[in-house]
Amino acid sequence: MTSVNAKKYLFANWKMYLHLEPSVLLAREFKNKLTNIPEDIQIAVFPSALAFAAVSDALKDSPVFVGAQNTYWVPEGGYTGEVSAEMFARSGAQYALVGHSERRHQFHETNHEVRLKLEAALAAGLTPVLCVGETAAEHKNGTAREAVEVQVRSAYSDLAWPTNRPFIIAYEPVWAIGTGNTCSPVGAEKMAGQITNLARTLTGALPAVLYGGSVRPENVATFLAEPHLAGVLVGGASAKLDSWQAIVRAAVTAD
Ligand code: PGA
């Protein structure tokens, strides 16, 4: 079956893996090595807040976009330690991850806060990338579908998606992130189909659903072959030049 999405998204979530200098060096290498990327493949990196401005600068005039890993919803003010969606947007961000499971579980981010961040990202002109996914316990006890449904509903209920903004959701099972235990492509496809239908019913727009969780050069093509998967969100393997280049190459070949 052919994909329901025209574009393929390859997103590199650098998390807190890289200090400032290696972030800029890696960004420069991406710029120099990732050439001849077909127009239907969109690559973006999500550096730390510290490295964001320098990475954004290093990637100017390259086909690689930049995004924020986490944003605050108030545009500016007395919020010690936070960086707003508005600030990232004005520093060159195109995208913002919203509700990554490490934010939800390690920093106790609620569905309500995720919704506020999603709305603020849209208001700032960014394309939010909502992250959803079930925990290991939910996976085991057979409630994964319900868990993901709650996250999707609270993010998009009564929200008309702006027509000028791509609509992107990342399905990242928590038990697959950073563990080497990838979800099967068939399992990811099934959940992506459910997410697509629900998100479309809620917003009237067709989302591009990405898979994330231990994506590697050797498995990326199996996910991209699934009709409801429009790309991948990659953590560990995106923070090294060799593995990221191999992932991009595999995606271009599979295109
Ligand atoms: P991983 O992380 O590729 O290291 O599993 C994915 C993510 O958290 O976005």
pLDDT in tens, 128-177: 999 999 999 999 999 999 999 999 999 999 998 999 899 999 999 999 99
pLDDT of 230 above 60: yes
CA 178–ligand 1 middle distance (angstroms): 5
Q: Which of 4-13, 20-29, 51-60, 165-174 has the lowest mean pLDDT?
A: 4-13
Q: Label residue 99 by pLDDT band (50, 70, 90).
A: very high
The chain-wide mean pLDDT, for the chain, equals: 95
Least confident of 1-10, 141-150, 238-247: 1-10
Could you tell me the CA-to-CA distances from 244 to 10, 16, 190 in Å, in that order? Answer: 10, 17, 26
Cα 163 from Cα 70, distance rounded (Å)? 24
The fraction of the chain above a pLDDT of 70, given in percent, is: 98
Would residue 218 show up in a list of annotated catalytic residues for this protein?
Answer: no
Q: Which residues pair with 8 in a beta bridge?
A: 41
Atom of ligand 1 nearest to the CA of 13: 9
**Which has the higher per-residue pLDDT, 83 or 34?**
83
How far apart are alpha carbons 169 and 210 in whole angstroms? 6
List the catalytic residue out of 100, 102, 138, 189. 100
215 CA: nearest ligand 1 atom: 3
pLDDT of 3: 52
Q: Give the single-character DSSP code of 143.
A: -
Q: Is 113 a catalytic site residue?
A: no
Give the model's confidence band at 2: pLDDT under 50 very low, under 70 low, under 90 confident, else very high: very low
Alpha-carbon separation of residue 12 from 4, 33, 42, 65 (angstroms): 22, 15, 11, 10
